[in-house]
Amino acid sequence: EIAQELAALPAGVPAEEMSKRRDLRSLNVFAIDPADAKDADDAVHWRALDNGMCEVGVHITDVTYYVQPGSYIDRHAKRQCFTQYLCSQAFHMLPDELSEKVCSLRHGVEQLAVSCVFTLDSNHQIVDTWIGRSVVESKGKLSYMQADTLLDAQKEKKERGAYPQFECVEGHERAISESVLGLYDIAQAM
């Protein structure tokens, strides 16, 4: 039954869903996960705004679009309850085809998401919030070690622009690296 339900899922983002959601595909959305992660169900973005403020977004795959209530996949997920991580393997709540492909925020692929977007002032106080359904296109993926390497280089006052290699859509290395630094600055201020 799982194979039949997976085969019935739409390829790509259906046009009718685009009109119901906020289009966030132009943002530099990216994931930071363990190096061996096969899925990316969450991602973030950061950008400086013209008024001295910044914007932070948290994006989670909209699994509810793909898993219909009462379906075989839904019943399987309810029995499983959560993904179990062991030292050398993971037992996903959802079938691998969903968790690693259809519902994974892979870079360069448009995906349906639920997003929280916060506008912060220069003191890192939240001044505006938007929460809703969206369409995102992840621009890249960093491992924790790659993000740490980037932050360490900045702490050592190395030249800005010496970014570690990571998976991303061509031309987005600098923007993603600047986003990691922007998020780090916010974390340090809190």
pLDDT of residue 161: 55
Distance, CA of 6 to CA of 187 (rounded, Å): 39
Terminal C-alpha separation, the chain: 48
Overall average pLDDT of the 112-131 stretch: 96
**Whether residue 190 has pLDDT greater than 90:** no
Between β-strands 42-48 and 90-91, what pairing exists: parallel, antiparallel or unpaired?
unpaired
pTM for this model (two decimals) = 0.86
Overall average pLDDT of the 81-91 stretch: 73
Beta bridge partners of 110: 137
In the structure encoding, which two tokens stand for residue 72, read together?
A: 């075989």
Burial class (CB in 10 A: 0-12, 13-18, 19+), 83: middle
pLDDT of residue 177: 87
Confidence bin at 129 (pLDDT 50/70/90): very high
Distance, CA of 64 to CA of 60 (rounded, Å): 11
Q: In degrees to the nearest 10, what's the CA dihedral of 35, 59, 74, 21?
A: -140
Distance, CA of 135 to CA of 23 (rounded, Å): 5
> Using the 8-state DSSP alphabet, how is residue 62 labeled?
-
